[in-house]
Structure formats: structure tokens, C-alpha cells
């Protein structure tokens, strides 16, 4: 997908990712944990859902709940749009991102490392401003792949400043809630050779504008914390 048109003043080159304007910054900081999204109606109504340039349709985002709390549902039918928040995160104190998500309908058969197949039913961008202009920004794109194995990674076919890193795959976990984790600070060093002390934003996107297919995905927990293992407070999710 070319560009998640979310509303944060961070812009990646090559049309891969363009995050503009400003996100509302809520009270999301905790001593050892940052809850990036609440996934409720109030929050969603305050965020701009920006369509990717060139996409035919917007991804439809709605909120719901189950026994484990609120979630965000994303339906992308030949569509691409994203949402996110500008948030300063001290990666020396809270370097670990934890994502709980599920793919109900995936995108089998596409080549995700090509421009024609660069779609994901679910992805989370961790964004760092690295210069005076938006064109200099870097990102780690944590993805729920439909075709590749966990641990696979490659530069976006639209810009080498955004790296796709597979944290989950429907080859193993289709229509199943799972929680995954990654060390964002270590990943910026590994993929961009950058010693990043502070993250500048986080964005969510579900996109199918290149493949013209339909995906259905859910996000339930998105936090960044100090601990390697997220204690799920008895949530019944499979950890990967």
C-alpha cells in the first residue's frame, strides 16, 4: 500500500507512508506501560481515518467488545486507510510493544514484498522522526502476514525507510486471537542502524488496495511497556 493517510505530522518517503496533521494525545502514560489505544467510540470519533492516496475506498473501522475488553474491527474491501496517534515514548524505559490481534479473513496468494502485493490485513507502524523534514522519517511496520513466516522481514517496496517485520502469520493463526511482542528499540538498531531513545508515533492500518481483495481484522490490545512478557490478567489469548 502506498500511504496510510493518518493524522500525525510524520511522513515517510516514496508514498509508502504519509502521516499528516496531528493526532489527539490522550492520557495514555503509566509508570511502566503506555496504552496507545483504548479502542472505544470516543477515541475513534476523535481520530481522522485517512484514505491512502490512490486507494478506491477507505478501510472501515468500528469498535466492539468481548469478555476481554474493547477491540477495533477493520474491514478493508479494495481499501486502504489508517489511524494513529502522536505519542512520545521513552524506549529506554518502555521498549517492548505488545499487540493482541486476530485475522478473520486474510489475503492468501499475494507477494507482500512487491508493490502489487504490498497489503496486510493488520499492521502497526512504530514511527521515528529522524530529521527536519517528514521525508527523513523511519518506521518499523509490524505486520500480521497472510503468506510469510514469523520472523521474515524486508524493506517496503515503496521506501527503504520503512521495514516490514512479520510478528504473526495466518499460516499458523487464522481466525484466532494471539498476542505478539517485539523490542522496538532493538528493531530500530537492527533494521535502520539507529539508536532510538524516543518514539514519536504509532499507527494502525488494514489495507487491500493493491490486491483488490477483502480482509477482516481485529485489534484488542496495543501497549508499549518495560517488561519482555506482557501479563494478560487472565485474558485467554495464545502468545506467540
Residue range 30-69, pLDDT digits in tens = 458 889 999 999 999 988 787 787 888 999 999 999 999 9
At residue 15, the pLDDT reads: 35
At residue 237, the pLDDT reads: 38
CB 26 within 8 A of CB 74: no
Would strands 178-183 and 238-239 be described as parallel, antiparallel, or unpaired?
Answer: parallel
Q: How confident is the model at residue 28 (pLDDT cuts 50, 70, 90)?
A: very low
Phi (first) and psi of residue 41, to 5 degrees: -65, -40
> Does the pLDDT at position 233 exceed 50?
no
At residue 183, the pLDDT reads: 97
Give the lowest-confidence range in 83-87, 112-116, 153-157. 83-87
Q: Which of 15, 224, 217, 25 is nearest to 118 (CA)?
A: 15
At residue 29, the pLDDT reads: 40
Residue range 107-154, pLDDT digits in tens = 999 999 999 999 999 999 999 998 776 667 899 999 999 999 999 999
CB 124 within 8 A of CB 197: no
Element containing residue 195 per DSSP (H, E): none
Percent of the chain with pLDDT over 90: 69
CB 180 within 8 A of CB 167: yes
At residue 56, the pLDDT reads: 85
| Greater pLDDT, 3 or 173 | 173
Q: How confident is the model at residue 209 (pLDDT cuts 50, 70, 90)?
A: very high
Q: How confident is the model at residue 10 (pLDDT cuts 50, 70, 90)?
A: very low
Q: How far is 72 from 218, CA to CA, in rounded Å?
A: 5
> Does the pLDDT at position 232 exceed 50?
no
| CA distance to 40, 45, 96, 216, 220, per residue, from 237 (Å) | 20, 28, 18, 19, 11
Q: How confident is the model at residue 227 (pLDDT cuts 50, 70, 90)?
A: low
Amino acid at each position: 500500500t502506498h500511504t496510510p493517510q493518518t493524522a500525525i505530522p510524520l511522513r515517510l518517503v516514496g508514498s509508502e507512508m504519509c502521516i499528516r496533521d496531528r493526532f489527539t494525545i490522550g492520557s495514555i502514560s503509566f509508570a511502566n506501560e503506555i496504552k496507545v489505544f483504548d479502542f472505544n467510540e470516543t477515541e475513534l470519533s476523535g481520530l481522522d481515518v485517512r484514505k491512502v492516496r490512490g486507494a478506491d475506498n477507505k478501510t472501515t473501522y468500528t469498535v466492539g467488545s468481548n469478555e476481554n475488553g474493547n477491540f477495533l474491527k477493520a474491514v478493508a474491501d479494495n481499501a486502504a486507510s489508517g489511524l494513529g496517534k502522536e505519542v512520545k515514548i521513552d524506549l529506554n524505559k518502555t521498549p517492548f510493544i505488545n499487540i493482541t490481534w486476530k485475522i478473520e479473513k486474510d489475503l492468501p496468494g499475494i507477494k507482500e514484498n512487491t508493490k502489487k502485493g504490498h497489503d496486510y490485513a493488520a499492521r502497526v507502524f512504530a514511527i521515528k522522526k529522524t530529521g527536519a523534514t517528514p521525508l527523513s522519517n523511519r518506521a518499523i511496520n509490524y505486520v500480521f502476514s497472510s503468506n510469510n513466516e514469523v520472523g521474515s522481514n524486508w524493506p517496503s517496496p515503496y521506501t527503504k525507510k520503512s521495514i516490514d517485520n512479520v510478528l504473526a502469520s495466518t499460516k499458523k493463526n487464522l481466525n484466532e486471537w494471539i498476542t505478539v511482542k517485539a523490542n522496538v528499540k532493538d528493531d530500530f538498531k537492527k533494521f535502520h542502524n539507529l539508536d532510538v531513545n524516543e518514539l514519536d508515533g504509532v499507527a494502525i492500518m488494514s489495507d487491500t488496495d493493491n490486491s483488490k481483495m477483502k480482509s477482516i481484522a481485529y485489534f484488542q490490545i496495543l501497549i508499549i511497556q518495560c517488561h519482555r512478557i506482557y501479563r494478560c490478567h487472565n485474558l485467554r489469548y495464545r502468545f506467540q
